[in-house]
Amino acid sequence: MAGRGPGGPMGGRYMTEEEKANQPKITPELLKRVFSYLTPYWKQLLLVIGAIFVSSTMKLLPSVLTGRIIDEGLIARNFGALVFLIFLSLAVTLGGNLIGVLESYLNNWIAQHITYDMRNSMYRHLQTMSQRFFTTSNQGDIITRMTSDIDGVQRVITNTLTDILSNAITLIVAVVVMYRQNWVLATVGILIVPLFVIPTRAAGRTRWSITRESQECSDQINGILNETLSVSGQLLVKLFGREDHEYEKYEKANKKMIDLNIRESMAGRWFMVILSTTSSVGPMLLYLVGGILMMKYDSDLTVGDITVLVGLLGQMYRPVNQLLNIQVDWMRSMAMFTRLFQYYDMPAEIQNAPDAITPDSTDGSVSFSHVKFSYDSERQILKDVSFDLKSGDCIAIVGPSGSGKSTMINLIPRLYDAQGGTITFGGIDVRKLDLAFLRKNVGIVSQETYLFNGTIRDNLLYARFDASEEELIEACRKANIYDFIQAQEKGLDTMVGNRGLKLSGGEKQRISIARVLLKDPALLIFDEATSALDSISEQKIQDAIEPLIAERTSILIAHRLSTILAADEILVVKDGEIAERGKHADLVKAGGVYTELYETQFRKALDGSLEGGKEENDYEVPGYIAPGDEY
């Protein structure tokens, strides 16, 4: 519907209550910062200003020439002058329009380049933001800033700034020419302008408020349709027999909508009536006053002069109206800039130390010493965690859900920084290590596997763009996914679907294991999925990771006994502390947290995997206590 929303043809002319309440403070610093985006393009900007000046002036010239056409051509009956002035007027109009085209081109060029710069720098800046930023911010908000807010900036430059300039220039030139023509008529004309502007603005505001109301009503109708005509919505309506109730709700909103639509179009009609009436009052007044001057006061005013003044007056309404409205555009633009600057000003929480160390290699060992951490300074997630993982060893971290296991491993590649204690990687404090080096050497297979929408190959190559076909196949073999890939018609070029949705959870996990293997990190972290996989998938993952952890330093966040048993040491985390540590057999005997976990979680899982076809005796692990055994 025409005029809808802030972007509509007239919708943008008035501020909403919310916008009024959130008006930004316009400080010299803010303006300086906004204009700093223009400075690299100052040459083009000067050209634009020049073009605006010339085209705005040239657009007024035909009105002035009309006066001369009347006086010097028609009234003086001079055919030569008439033809010359007509051609001159047409040439000026054409010239003005052509310069206008150049102005638009330059203007767009500058605006597009500024938004290009802003988008790039914002994207770079967002990439430096910490995990905390992405987990706490609303994703929609981030996207809005990257897209519509920056688009808004472009509009400011292409519309607001040029509007201000061209309108101001048009007004100044028009006023000067009018006064040169006749000061009495010029003064009358200028006094008339507010008479026109005030009622049209009032009518515009009424129309805007109706438009907003009908927008809300339309949203409400869409909401009803979405809710009640969806599969599950209809099911609910049918099962509870609420058809009539929903119909009545819909009918009421529908009725409100048509009433508003009628009011809206009538308000539009009245707006036009007021507009055309008031805008015809001005010229008539000028003719009247001009006539009085000519007839009663014997002024040397000519018919041409009066025509020029009427023409110029007609050209003043638009700029005056627009300049009055520009305040709204300006405020809105400043609000947009302020929002963008808020993002730019967010410091990158995790940064490379100025004197960061980049060793030649690392042994992948990890040491936590009295590490403390909280996400929001309200609740301490890790209270005092210390452990050592020697190069080549494997640690399994177990503990109840929410005890802080994932948090512990997130601190190693510095997705977050610990608030107390130290974490070393390869014997060096992680904060002193070069971030790129650190992250290159820590490979995490997280619980929630993320695959991009593309082929399996694309997803694997993300780890190392230059990996050869043989390396890809080798990684897939090790991750126990190669058979699956081979069975696909397109092999490695099989599409994985949006976020890998075309694959099962187990397949996704194995692809992400292959991806980490291609990266070949010194430390491998495997955050085992808590979600249930069937025992065959689970076994395939198990078969993939067991040889891997045997050959490299690794940490397993384990939920299944079979994974735990493969580790050299088990850390039992409870409430952000390491409650117990040791080997499976000892921990089971200790009768503490681990025993409880074993009883409630691992044993059940083990029972499940036994149903998957494995014989009990296949688990030949020292210390393994078969279900039902005494310990």
Nearest one of 401, 370, 373 to 388, comparing CA atoms: 370
Q: Does 444 bind ligand ATP (CB under 6 A)?
A: no
Secondary structure (3-state) at 442: strand
Tell me the window of 155-163, 398-406, 463-471, 547-555 that interacts with ligand ATP (CB under 6 A).
398-406
405 or 519: whose CB is closer to ligand ATP? Answer: 405
Q: Which of 5, 7, 223, 402 binds ligand ATP (CB under 6 A)?
A: 402
d(CA 200, CA 268): 11
Q: Does 403 bind ligand ATP (CB under 6 A)?
A: yes
Q: Which of 179, 341, 375, 619 binds ligand ATP (CB under 6 A)?
A: 375
d(CA 131, CA 349): 9
152 or 404: whose CB is closer to ligand ATP? Answer: 404
Q: Does 414 bind ligand ATP (CB under 6 A)?
A: no
Tell me the window of 271-279, 329-337, 375-383, 504-512 that interacts with ligand ATP (CB under 6 A).
375-383
Write down the least CB distance from residue 373 to ligand ATP, Å.
9
Q: Does 530 bind ligand ATP (CB under 6 A)?
A: yes
Tell the burial category of 567 from Cβ atoms under 10 Å away from its Cβ (0-12, 13-18, 19+). Answer: buried
254 or 530: whose CB is closer to ligand ATP? Answer: 530
Write down the least CB distance from residue 629 to ligand ATP, Å.
27
Q: Residue 424 phi/psi, 5° resolution?
A: -115, 150
d(CA 623, CA 585): 4
Q: For the sheet containing 442-445, what is the strand order?
A: 428-429, 420-425, 366-374, 380-389, 577-582, 569-574, 394-398, 553-557, 523-527, 442-445
Task: Scan residues 77-96 and list those touching ligand ATP (CB under 6 A).
Answer: none
Write down the least CB distance from residue 571 to ligand ATP, Å.
12
Q: Does 407 bind ligand ATP (CB under 6 A)?
A: yes
Write down the least CB distance from residue 407 to ligand ATP, Å.
3
Q: Which of 145, 405, 478, 510 binds ligand ATP (CB under 6 A)?
A: 405
Q: Are 348 and 417 in contact (CB under 8 A)?
A: no
d(CA 304, CA 296): 18
185 or 381: whose CB is closer to ligand ATP? Answer: 381
d(CA 99, CA 56): 9
The H-or-E segment that residue 398 falls in is: strand 394-398
Q: Does 139 bind ligand ATP (CB under 6 A)?
A: no
Q: Which of 96, 404, 426, 521 binds ligand ATP (CB under 6 A)?
A: 404
Write down the least CB distance from residue 531 to ligand ATP, Å.
10
Q: Which of 112, 135, 486, 488 binds ligand ATP (CB under 6 A)?
A: 135
56 or 403: whose CB is closer to ligand ATP? Answer: 403
Which residues, listed in sequence order, are joined to residue 574 by a DSSP beta bridge?
577
d(CA 166, CA 58): 12
DSSP 111-171: HHHHHHHHHHHHHHHHHTS-HHHHHHS-HHHHHHIIIIIHHHHHHIIIIIIHHHHHHHHHH
Strands, DSSP E only, in 453-540? Answer: 523-527
Q: Which of 406, 453, 542, 601 binds ligand ATP (CB under 6 A)?
A: 406
Write down the least CB distance from residue 592 to ligand ATP, Å.
17
H helical segments located in 182-242 = 183-228, 231-239
Write down the least CB distance from residue 131 to ligand ATP, Å.
7
Residue type, 604: K
Q: Does 401 bind ligand ATP (CB under 6 A)?
A: yes
Q: Per the structure block, which two tokens stand in for 398?
A: 């177990």
Q: Are 429 and 470 in contact (CB under 8 A)?
A: no
Write down the least CB distance from residue 381 to ligand ATP, Å.
5
Q: Does 560 bind ligand ATP (CB under 6 A)?
A: no
Q: Which of 122, 320, 366, 381 binds ligand ATP (CB under 6 A)?
A: 381
Q: Which of 204, 304, 399, 426 binds ligand ATP (CB under 6 A)?
A: 399
Binding site for ligand ATP (CB under 6 A): 135, 375-376, 381, 399, 401-407, 530
